[in-house]
Structure 1
Amino acid sequence: MEYLAIFFTAIFINNIIFSQFLGICPFLGVSSRMTTATGMGAAVIFVMTLATTVTFLLHQYILMPLGLHFLNTVAFILVIASLVQLVEIILKKIAPPLYHALGIFLPLITTNCAILGVAILVIQKNYTFAESVVFAASTAMGFTLALVIMAGIRERLEISDIPERLKGGPITLLTAGLLSLAFMGFSGML
């Protein structure tokens, strides 16, 4: 039951974008097309889950026993950047079509603050290993959900008749604010 609560909370109630405001740059930059949003979402699900798993193990079995937990942020950044590069190299060799489909999204994930944020939140919330993996995967799914919803709305806004002064950035920010309010409606459910 605890895992289900973590899953539901991470996707809907404490959505990384709409509630914690992490990952706003890729959210606004990549959500203009559904294809790019789903590609980025898939890459984030994979990398966030893998990075959180590795950083959790690093923290628990290396940094904490050696009394170096103050190096968490620096170590986590290095791990995330290395993992993204490793995944990029492996995908290029093993699955070229997937590598080309993800395109620029893999390198962009290195600078996504949501990845680092989740790795740090797992430590702060004192989750177990299994809870950490569920939290990371669920948070990434919430990130993807937010991207896909926003991409769908933005594609519809392109063909809608909206005032000239609201086109582009202003309507995007207004839409993001309204989506954030909509997701706040889930807060009383758990």
Structure 2
Amino acid sequence: MEHLELFFKSIFVDNMVFATFLGMCSYLAVSKKVSTAVGLGAAVIFVMAITVPLNWLLDQYILQDGALAWLGEEYAAYDLSFLSFIMFIATIATMVQLVEIIVEKFAPALYNSLGIFLPLIAVNCAILGGSLFMQSREIASLDLAFNYGISSGIGFFLAILTIAAIREKIRYSNIPAPLRGLGITFIITGLMAIGFMSFGGMLTGGDEETIKEEQTVQVKVKDNDKELVINEKETKE
């Protein structure tokens, strides 16, 4: 249940683009065609699926306060959390370089259409945001980190694919001149963000123990109210 909840929340509720507005540069620049949007979205999923678990391992066994205890007691007092940004960015840059080599080798047409925005994944704030959110939310295990990386990438993929499909359609629409181009794109993005806010109530009902505790409290309150009514009647008589 925890994996499923994290998966859907990362895609819809905490979408990188529509909830936190990260990665807007690539989102706006590469969403003119569906084909290029699909290619960039797939690359983002691949990079996040690898970098988030790798950065989780770095955070757990190297960067956190006391994470170096596995090397010996004399290293238990070290706190390397100030290196988080540097280490995370280095991991991301390495993986993006690997993606660039693979795309150039097996899909040269996609490589040419993405152009400069493929290596710019390395400085895409959505990619770094995934690792930083993983760290701040204290994700407990490697499989959850992998789940979060894939689902956050799928959320970015869904966002850029949707806006690309809409932009291809509105290209032939009669849009007022002042709103053509990025103007109407920003308006549509805002409306889509409002739409994604409606998913905010998903999977937020609480766990079974919390629900049982609330029901128990409600029963006790009702019982106390009944006792008070009975005592009032006896007093009047």
* Percent identical residues: 43
Compare 66-75 and 147-156 and name the one that shifted more: 66-75
- TM-fit CA distance, 1:62: 2.0
1:131 aligns with 2:144: yes
Segments of 4+ in structure 1 off by > 2 A? 86-89, 97-106
State the match for 2:59 in structure 1. Answer: 59
State the match for 1:121 in structure 2. Answer: 133
Give structure 1 stretches of 5+ with no counterpart: none
Letter aligned with residue 171 of structure 1: I
State the match for 2:24 in structure 1. Answer: 24
Letter aligned with residue 197 of structure 2: M
The question of whether the paired residues in 2 share the 8 Å contact of 1:43 and 1:102 is answered with: no
State the match for 2:169 in structure 1. Answer: 156
Q: Distance in 2 between matches of 1:50 and 1:34?
A: 24
- TM-fit CA distance, 1:88: 2.9
Q: Distance in 1 between matches of 2:90 and 2:105?
A: 25
Q: Distance in 2 between matches of 1:88 and 1:165?
A: 37
After TM superposition, list the pairs within 5 Å mapping 1:65-76 onto structure 2.
65=68, 66-76=78-88
TM-score, normalisation: structure 2: 0.75
1:107 aligns with 2:119: yes
- TM-fit CA distance, 1:189: 2.2
The question of whether the paired residues in 2 share the 8 Å contact of 1:88 and 1:99 is answered with: no
Compare 30-39 and 76-85 and name the one that shifted more: 76-85
The question of whether the paired residues in 1 share the 8 Å contact of 2:9 and 2:202 is answered with: no
Residue number among 104, 107, 115 corresponding to 1:98 in the alignment: 107
1:145 aligns with 2:158: yes
Deviations 1:119-169 (CA, angstroms, capped at 9, x unpaired)? 011111111211111011001001000001000110111001111111111
Deviations 1:90-136 (CA, angstroms, capped at 9, x unpaired)? x26xx822355344353121111011010011111111211111011
Give structure 2 stretches of 5+ with no counterpart: 69-77, 204-237
State the match for 2:235 in structure 1. Answer: none
| Larger Rg over CA atoms | 2
TM-score, normalisation: structure 1: 0.92
The structure, 1 or 2, with the larger RCO (C-alpha pairs under 8 Å, 6+ apart) is 1
Letter aligned with residue 57 of structure 1: L
